Amino acid sequence: MLQTETPVPAREELIATQREYLFPSVGTYYRNPLVLVEGRGCWVTDADGRKYLDLFGGVLTTSLGHCHPEIVRVVQEQVARLGHTSTLYVTAPQVEAARRLAGIAPGGLRRTYFSNSGSEAVETAVMLARLHTGRNEIVALRHSYAGRTVLGTELTAQAPWRPVGGLVGGVRFAASPYPYRSPFGDAGEDAADAFAADLEETIATTTTGKPAAFLAEPIQGVGGIIVPPPNYFRKAAEIIRRLGGLFIADEVQTGMARTGKWFAIEHFGVVPDIMTVSKGIAGGFPAAATITTDEIAASWKAKTFSTFGGNPVSMAAVAATIGVMEREDAPGRATVRGQQLRDGLEQLARQYEWIGEVRGLGLMQALELVRDPRTKEPAPERVGALMEAAREEGLLIGGAGLWGNVVRLGPSLLISEAEVADALARLGRACDRIN
């Protein structure tokens, strides 16, 4: 049922008007862009009234599905009571959101700075690491994505997402722990050693040897859902800490129960020094958090301010989202439904040799498509064709990867068993169509 009485202009008119007034760089999926007008749970409806099962969740952001009734209620109540104050005043929603985040964050991470986007959360984390260590250099990973600000772009190691380069100094990149395309060959059990050695060598050969921080996504999302070998982060954190730097886990995409734990870094047995969180944090509303320890947070002594950071409406959504996730055991559901999804994807990979690899954790899963499984040559054209075919089948899936050859899946954490089965059936038919 429509939540609003406001009439939606006709589909063609909307697309034409978008093309006239938005930056041409605002890209949309599909040859014929999809106009969405309504969403409920795992389902969205387009301007022609067609329904789609949404396996992409607004880029892994509508963590409780579309228009979760509790989030809608809390947001409506808050926007009618107090919509904005700035952080110069104390509000109950911001305090409650921070308290709840401290309750789910690992180790001594209990201090939060709120902002509005993942890019800002990363900026805050990097600035904080520099202030805390008195150092400047940051080591990140190739294939990473860190945002669209100047620093975020510079910390992003994928050429298509870097419209301009060389704007910020002091950023270096180590090899992505990407076993499927490892530059070190198939190192098997020792893969973590090879990737960690590359991190150490990168620091030794391209920095002063005294970096401020190592910044990494526990699973590289935009890069193609790249899951590092199990021991990688334990070794990487040991290296950066031995050299006096901090470990920043960029959990913007992987955090908030997505992978079956509250934060994906917990799969790797490491507690970061600073963590960034956004996307699923507020059930689809704009909010981001940089979370750290008391000691590190205290290093930021200069003035700082974010007009909309900590906005009461977004904060009410954060607190309510965590409440629903706890009540519904979102990590447990992501584990179980993630395994169901994974089993179905593995089944497809046995049928179609152009599915080079299935990977991911929990409800963050991917298919890497290749032209030939022996050469692993990326097949971005197949991702395009599969997305179109899936749309025909009433299924939304996303893309990823440096070469655009990865299918990215990240539905609502509350997706049901029947919906996962339905999605797999639709995806199977879409695969069949393009075979």
Ligand X SMILES: Cc1ncc(COP(=O)(O)O)c(C=O)c1O
- Residues at the interface with ligand X (CB under 6 A): 117-119, 122, 145-148, 217, 221-222, 250, 252-253, 278
> How far, in Å, CA of 432 to CA of 435, rounded?
5
As measured in angstroms, the least distance from the Cβ of 195 to ligand X is 18
As measured in angstroms, the least distance from the Cβ of 224 to ligand X is 12
Question: Shortest Cβ contact with ligand X: which residue?
Answer: 118
As measured in angstroms, the least distance from the Cβ of 262 to ligand X is 16
As measured in angstroms, the least distance from the Cβ of 267 to ligand X is 16
As measured in angstroms, the least distance from the Cβ of 431 to ligand X is 26
Q: Which is nearer to ligand X, 146 or 430 (CB)?
A: 146
As measured in angstroms, the least distance from the Cβ of 222 to ligand X is 5
As measured in angstroms, the least distance from the Cβ of 205 to ligand X is 26
Q: Which is nearer to ligand X, 155 or 355 (CB)?
A: 155
Q: Which is nearer to ligand X, 195 or 285 (CB)?
A: 285
Q: Which is nearer to ligand X, 245 or 398 (CB)?
A: 398
> Are the beta carbons of 290 and 115 closer than 8 angstroms?
yes
3-state SS, the chain, equals CCCCCCCCCCHHHHHHHHHHHCCCCCCCCCCCCCCEEEEEECEEEECCCCEEEECCHHHHCCCCCECCHHHHHHHHHHHHHCCCCCCCCCCHHHHHHHHHHHHHCCCCCCEEEEECCHHHHHHHHHHHHHHHHCCCCEEEECCCCCCCCHHHHHCCCCHHHCCCCCCCCCEEEECCCCHHHCCCCCCHHHHHHHHHHHHHHHHHHHCCCCCCEEEECCCECCCCCECCCCCHHHHHHHHHHHCCCEEEEECCCCCCCCCCCCCHHHHHCCCCCEEEECHHHHCCCCCEEEEECHHHHCCCCCCCCCCCCCCHHHHHHHHHHHHHHHHCCHHHHHHHHHHHHHHHHHHHHHHCCCEEEEEEECCEEEEEEECCCCCCCECHHHHHHHHHHHHHCCEECEEECCCCCEEEECCCCCCCHHHHHHHHHHHHHHHHHHC
Q: Which is nearer to ligand X, 218 or 384 (CB)?
A: 218
As measured in angstroms, the least distance from the Cβ of 12 to ligand X is 29
As measured in angstroms, the least distance from the Cβ of 145 to ligand X is 5
